[in-house]
Structure 1
Amino acid sequence: MVTRRFLLVGEGNFSYAAALSEVEEPGTSLVASCPQGPTALAGNPVFQENLLRLRERGAEVRFGVDCTQLADAFAMDGWKFDRIYFNFPHCGRKAGVAKNRELLARFFQSCTDVLAERGEVHVALCRGQGGTPADCPKREWHNSWQVVAMAARGGLILSNVHPFNSEAVPGYKCTGYRSQNKSFHVEGALNHVFTRSLPFKESQPMICRVRLDDHWLTFPVPEALVGKINRGFLEINSSHPVRTINEKLIAELGKMFSLRRLKCPTSLLPEKSYCNHFAWSSDSLSAPFWIIPQKEKILHSEFSAAETTCDMEELLVSFSRLHLQKHLEWKREQEGQKRIESPTKFSLRPSLLVHAQDIIQRHDFLPGSLHILSGPVFRKCLISPFMLPTFHETLFVYGFDKKTSDSCLHLFLENLKCSLHDLLTQRLPDGPELSSSLTFKLQENKKDYVIYVKPRNFGPVEIVGLVIGSVITSATSQIYKDLDFVFASVNLDLLVMLVWGISDWRILWTFDHRFLDHFASGKVEPFKTFSLYPPSYVHDVSFWLDGERGFDEVEFHTVARAVSQDMITSIQLLNRFQHPKTGQISLCYRLTYQTCDRALSHQQAIMIQNKFRTEIQQCLHVTVRYSHTNLDSRKIHVSLP
Structure 2
Amino acid sequence: VLLLGEGNFSFAAALCGAPGTHVVATCYESEEEAAERGGAARSIRRLRDSGAEVVFSVDCTKLKEHFLPGKREFDRIYFNFPHCGRKAGVVKNRELLACFFHSCAEVLAEQGEVHVALCNGQGGTPADQPRREWHNSWQIVAVAAGAGFILSDVHPFKAETIHGYKCTGYRSQDKSFCVEGALNHVFTRSTPPLCLTPVSCNTQLGSQKVSFQVPQVLVDKINRGFLEVNSSHPVRTIKEKLSAGLSQAFPLQNISSCLPLLLQGHPSGVCHSDVFWIALSPGEAPSTEETSQGLANAVWFPHFGQDTDRNVGEGYPSPKQFHLRPSLLPQAQAMIQKGAFSPGTLHVLSGPVFRQCRITPHSMPVFHEMLLVLTVSRGTENSCIQMLVENIKATTSALHQAVSGVKPSISLQEAASFGAELSDFAAFECQLGEIQHFICLGTDPDPSGSCVGVTRTAPDELKSSELVVVSASLNLDLLAMLLCGISDWRMLWTSDRRFLQQFPEGELRLFKSFSLYPPSYVHDVSFWVPDGEEFDEVAFHTLARRVSGEMVVSIQLRDSFQQPGTGRRSLCYRVTFQSCDRALGCREAAEMQLRFREEIQQHLGVTLR
TM-score by length of 1: 0.84
CA shift, 1:490, in A, is 0.1
Distance 1:412 1:214, change over 3 A: closer
In the other structure, the counterpart of 2:347 is 371
In the other structure, the counterpart of 2:408 is 435
1:396-442 CA distance string (max 9 Å, x none): 010122365554444334333433444444464xxx52423433334
Q: Is the 8 A contact 2:337 2:462 kept in 1?
A: no
Distance 1:214 1:437, change over 3 A: closer
Is 1:345 aligned to 2:340, yes or no? Answer: no
Separation in 1, partners of 2:443, 2:401: 10
1:550-591 CA distance string (max 9 Å, x none): 311111111111111111111111111122232221111101
In the other structure, the counterpart of 1:544 is 528
Q: Is the 8 A contact 1:475 1:487 kept in 2?
A: no
In the other structure, the counterpart of 2:287 is none
Distance 1:134 1:481, change over 3 A: same
Q: Is the 8 A contact 2:345 2:375 kept in 1?
A: yes
Identical-pair percentage? 53
- Please, which of 161, 184, 191 is the counterpart of residue 191 of structure 1? 184
Deviates more, 1:616-625 or 1:349-358: 349-358
Q: Is the 8 A contact 1:41 1:47 kept in 2?
A: yes
SS of match in other structure, 1:324? coil
In the other structure, the counterpart of 2:514 is 530
SS of match in other structure, 2:28? coil
CA shift, 1:185, in A, is 1.2
In the other structure, the counterpart of 1:451 is 439
Map of 1:381-396 to 2, 5 A cutoff?
381-396=357-372
Q: Is the 8 A contact 2:353 2:367 kept in 1?
A: yes
SS of match in other structure, 1:260? strand
Is 1:294 aligned to 2:281, yes or no? Answer: yes
Separation in 1, partners of 2:254, 2:299: 25
In the other structure, the counterpart of 1:605 is 589
Distance 1:296 1:213, change over 3 A: farther
SS of match in other structure, 1:515? helix
CA shift, 1:475, in A, is 4.2
Structure 2: which amino acid aligns with 1:289?
F
In the other structure, the counterpart of 2:424 is none
CA shift, 1:56, in A, is 1.6
Q: Is the 8 A contact 1:449 1:471 kept in 2?
A: yes
CA shift, 1:60, in A, is 0.7
CA shift, 1:362, in A, is 4.1
Structure 2: which amino acid aligns with 1:94?
K
- Please, which of 532, 552, 557 is the counterpart of residue 541 of structure 2? 557
In the other structure, the counterpart of 1:313 is none
Q: Is the 8 A contact 2:205 2:262 kept in 1?
A: no
In the other structure, the counterpart of 2:308 is none
Separation in 1, partners of 2:399, 2:390: 14
TM-score by length of 2: 0.88
In the other structure, the counterpart of 1:495 is 479
CA shift, 1:212, in A, is 5.5
In the other structure, the counterpart of 1:146 is 139
- Please, which of 263, 270, 282 is the counterpart of residue 264 of structure 2? 270
Distance 1:150 1:475, change over 3 A: farther
Separation in 2, partners of 1:200, 1:557: 21
Separation in 1, partners of 2:28, 2:264: 68
In the alignment of these two chains, the number of paired residues is 568
Separation in 2, partners of 1:369, 1:222: 37
| Structure 1 gap ranges (5+) | 1-5, 278-283, 298-319, 328-341, 626-641
In the other structure, the counterpart of 2:7 is 12
SS of match in other structure, 1:375? strand
Distance 1:47 1:411, change over 3 A: closer
Q: Is the 8 A contact 1:127 1:187 kept in 2?
A: yes
Distance 1:326 1:614, change over 3 A: closer
Separation in 2, partners of 1:54, 1:323: 77
- Please, which of 494, 501, 506 is the counterpart of residue 510 of structure 1? 494
In the other structure, the counterpart of 1:400 is 376
1:311-343 CA distance string (max 9 Å, x none): xxxxxxxxx97443889xxxxxxxxxxxxxx96
| Structure 2 gap ranges (5+) | 285-293, 302-317, 418-432
CA-based RMSD of the aligned residues comes to: 2.5
Separation in 1, partners of 2:407, 2:447: 15
Structure 1: which amino acid aligns with 2:598?
T
Q: Is the 8 A contact 1:124 1:164 kept in 2?
A: yes
Is 1:40 aligned to 2:33, yes or no? Answer: yes
SS of match in other structure, 2:61? coil
1:455-508 CA distance string (max 9 Å, x none): 322xxxx58542111100134334444311101110000000110011111000
Q: Is the 8 A contact 1:436 1:453 kept in 2?
A: yes
Structure 1: which amino acid aligns with 2:546?
A
Structure 1: which amino acid aligns with 2:249?
M
Map of 1:190-229 to 2, 5 A cutoff?
190-211=183-204, 216-229=209-222
Is 1:67 aligned to 2:60, yes or no? Answer: yes
Separation in 2, partners of 1:214, 1:71: 60
SS of match in other structure, 1:183? coil
Distance 1:450 1:147, change over 3 A: same
- Please, which of 273, 279, 298 is the counterpart of residue 324 of structure 1? 298
Deviates more, 1:448-457 or 1:482-491: 448-457
Structure 2: which amino acid aligns with 1:82?
D
Structure 1: which amino acid aligns with 2:276?
F
SS of match in other structure, 1:419? helix
- Please, which of 545, 548, 561 is the counterpart of residue 577 of structure 1? 561
Deviates more, 1:146-155 or 1:462-471: 462-471
Q: Is the 8 A contact 1:104 1:147 kept in 2?
A: yes
Q: Is the 8 A contact 1:270 1:323 kept in 2?
A: no
In the other structure, the counterpart of 2:307 is none
Map of 1:212-251 to 2, 5 A cutoff?
216-251=209-244
- Please, which of 392, 411, 415 is the counterpart of residue 416 of structure 1? 392
Separation in 2, partners of 1:565, 1:501: 24
Is 1:30 aligned to 2:23, yes or no? Answer: yes
Deviates more, 1:287-296 or 1:53-62: 287-296
Separation in 2, partners of 1:352, 1:214: 19
Structure 2: which amino acid aligns with 1:450?
F
CA shift, 1:34, in A, is 1.0
